[in-house]
Amino acid sequence: MSVLAYLLLAFLTIVNIFLFLSRRGRRRDSNQDGDGTGLGMSIPFGWDPLDSELSARIFDPEDADFVANETSRPNARQFRQERTVLALDWLRAIRYHVNQLIRAHLRAARGNAGLKPADEIRLGFEFLLFQLTSGILYLVIWACGPPRAAKLVGYSLELAGQLRKVTEDVLPAGRQVAVELMNNKQEPRG
């Protein structure tokens, strides 16, 4: 019986590996250079102010408040749901653009003899940070809806700003103390 169980487990593992490999192969085939340049320079990376305005509008509570005041509760709920879907689409679009940018960078860098592994790893961390930020935002928008998510982001940024200010206020004092300590050490002992 145990022999049969192990055989079944091994068979399932092999089938899984094959499925994974075939899916990966198909995905990579579809990821070939879209524009043929390998750089993906068609990506609109100069963030359009109109886009900024539109995206800011998605998160603005004004529209949601207006709909909530003027229409019935089911309509307001439907509006909130549609705004959430829109916000998530917007976030997905940005992630897609950044992914394309990184892919284009890797394709350009792979043949470059001047590549510096440490810098590539640092860039990898930047990308990871972006993915982390956007992933958290995705969850927050999905869970709370765009206006509340925006409030939360505003609050977090404000808090981060205050923390930075506090750190900046503390640091010079710290340096001063260090300088004083060093000066004391250099003074001849009487």
Partner 1 sequence: MLSSLFWVTGLVLESVLLVRALLGNLLKYYSLFYLYLISVLLRSASLFAIYHLWPNFYSPAYWFTQFLNVLLGCALVWEVYKVALARYLGAARMARNVLAFLFILAITRIFVKAWNSPNWIPGRTTLETERDLRIVQLALLIGLVSLFASYAIPLGRNLKGIIYGYGLFIATSVAHLTLRDYLGDSFQRAWQYIQPICYLVVLVMWCATLWSYAPIPQPTNEPRLEADYESLLATTKSKVQSARSYLLRAMRP
Region of 136 (left: φ > 0; alpha: ψ -120 to 50; beta: rest) is alpha
Question: With binding defined as CB under 8 A, does residue 76 bind partner 1?
Answer: no
Question: With binding defined as CB under 8 A, does residue 16 bind partner 1?
Answer: no
Q: Where does this chain touch partner 1 (CB under 8 A) — which range of 33-41, 65-73, 78-86, 169-177?
A: 33-41
CB of 8 or CB of 179, closer to partner 1: 8
Of the candidates 50, 33, 51, the one whose C-alpha atom is nearest the C-alpha of residue 42 is 33
Element (DSSP H or E) covering residue 139 = helix 117-144
Tokens representing 67 are 């709909």
Q: Where does this chain touch partner 1 (CB under 8 A) — which range of 39-47, 63-71, 73-81, 166-174?
A: 39-47
Question: With binding defined as CB under 8 A, does residue 120 bind partner 1?
Answer: yes
Question: With binding defined as CB under 8 A, does residue 47 bind partner 1?
Answer: yes
Q: Is the dihedral of CA 90, 109, 107, 44 positive or negative?
A: positive
147-176 binders of partner 1 (CB under 8 A): 147, 149-151, 153-154, 157
With beta carbons less than 8 A apart as the criterion, state whether 90 and 55 touch: yes
Query: Using CB under 8 A, which of 30, 69, 73, 114 touches partner 1?
Result: 114
Secondary structure tally for the chain: helices H, strands E: 6, 0
d(CA 169, CA 147): 33
With beta carbons less than 8 A apart as the criterion, state whether 59 and 147 touch: yes
Kindly state the smallest distance separating residue 181's Cβ from partner 1, in Å: 37
Question: With binding defined as CB under 8 A, does residue 98 bind partner 1?
Answer: yes
CB of 12 or CB of 166, closer to partner 1: 12
Please calculate the CA angle 73-79-83 and round it to the nearest 5 degrees. Answer: 145
Report the interface residues with partner 1, using CB under 8 A.
2-7, 10, 13-14, 17, 21, 28, 31, 33, 36-39, 45, 47, 52, 55-56, 59-61, 91, 94, 97-98, 101-117, 119-120, 122-123, 126-127, 129-130, 133-134, 137, 146-147, 149-151, 153-154, 157
